[in-house]
Amino acid sequence: MKAIIETNFHFAKQMAKYIGKVRDVYTIDDKYMVMVVSDRISAFDVVLPKGIPYKGQVLNQIAAKFLDATADIVPNWRIASPDPMVTVGYRCEPFPIEMIVRGYLTGSAWRTYKSGAREICGVKIPEGMCEHQAFEKPIITPTTKAEQGLHDEDISKEEILEQGLVSADDYALLEKYTMDLFLCGTQMAKERGLILVDTKYEFGKKDGKIYLIDEIHTPDSSRYFYADGYAERIAKGEQQRQLSKEFVREWLMANGFSGQQGQQVPLMTDEVVNGITDRYIELYENILGEPFIRAPYTENIYERIETNVQNMLARLP
């Protein structure tokens, strides 16, 4: 199977193209965005050398489901998904921060805590916590939204306001939307026997109004634990069964790569690549509770995407 790792479309009224770590975003007539979710995969802010077949479809379709499910909480950018790997929506001016919300002490937050820190992004963390333990209530730990090739950096609410990155009124609304979205995602995960551990949200503005943009509750932006056995594993000090991209980071670290200068990405064999595909599909089927239908990978996949997008753009005002 051939992964889709790059695109080079020329849509009607196209004004610009932005290549992100995973997504290729085309600006249309300064009003719309065409987001093509590729099969590229990144970890430690590095795009890995091989793509993961069906990863783009998994991410795009999960995000579409959750954007629709949360549209009553906050308006979002999505108009429609004319192709399994594409979402078309409104162009918004993004805020220069990402809102990270954490319900549990795990991942990078645990690594920071284990190093001795007791404060993350200005939020105090109690003594005596263990890995994967739930916080008394979810915490928000924002990051800057770095330019391509640079690392996102932790930042506190106070620093965001002092630097004028977001106004006080807008930030208060971002906090509210973030918590409301996380609580909704938590409940939806619970219904599927999962725990939404942490996630990130990105927001932008259009016509003076805040919109939720980009992806939501996907394995690239979120971490899930299986609820079954969670308490027993905590009691025994065992690792949790999880559905997230963390397994990719763990595989890289086990093979001597953590994104540091001079390190080489380990060889990605077909077995490794296919295993990652299987994990992404596993998350899709568990979090959405429906079978994943693989879109056909054919020589004409680029033609399919372009035709589907052009047909939709022709219907937009």
What CATH number corresponds to the domain at position 130? 3.30.470.20
- Asked if residue 286 belongs to a domain, the reply is no
- Asked if residue 276 belongs to a domain, the reply is no
Mean pLDDT of 104-120: 95
Identify the domain containing residue 229 by its residue range.
94-244
DSSP state of 166: S
Instruction: Give the pLDDT band of residue 244 (cuts 50, 70, 90).
Output: confident
- Asked if residue 313 belongs to a domain, the reply is no
The percentage of the chain sitting over the pLDDT mark of 90, rounded to a whole number, equals: 86
Residue pair 94/213 in contact (Cβ under 8 Å)? The answer is yes
- Asked if residue 232 belongs to a domain, the reply is yes
Mean pLDDT check: name the lowest of 12-26, 148-162, 173-187: 148-162
Q: Across 127-191, where does the E strand assignment appear?
A: 134-140, 143-144
3-class secondary-structure state, position 174:
helix
- Asked if residue 146 belongs to a domain, the reply is yes
- Asked if residue 113 belongs to a domain, the reply is yes
Mean pLDDT of 187-193: 96
Q: Cβ of 208: how many Cβ atoms within 10 Å? A: 5
- Asked if residue 155 belongs to a domain, the reply is yes
Q: Which residue, among 286, 296, 309, 306, has the nearest Cα to 62 in the 3D structure?
A: 286
Which residues, other chains included, contact 164 with Cβ-Cβ below 8 Å and sequence gap of 6+? Answer: none
3-class secondary-structure state, position 151:
coil
Structure tokens at 175: 């906090």
pTM for the predicted model, two decimal places: 0.90
* pLDDT at residue 293 is higher than 90: yes
- Asked if residue 100 belongs to a domain, the reply is yes
The structural domain count of the chain equals 1
Instruction: Give the pLDDT band of residue 83 (cuts 50, 70, 90).
Output: very high
* pLDDT at residue 141 is higher than 90: yes
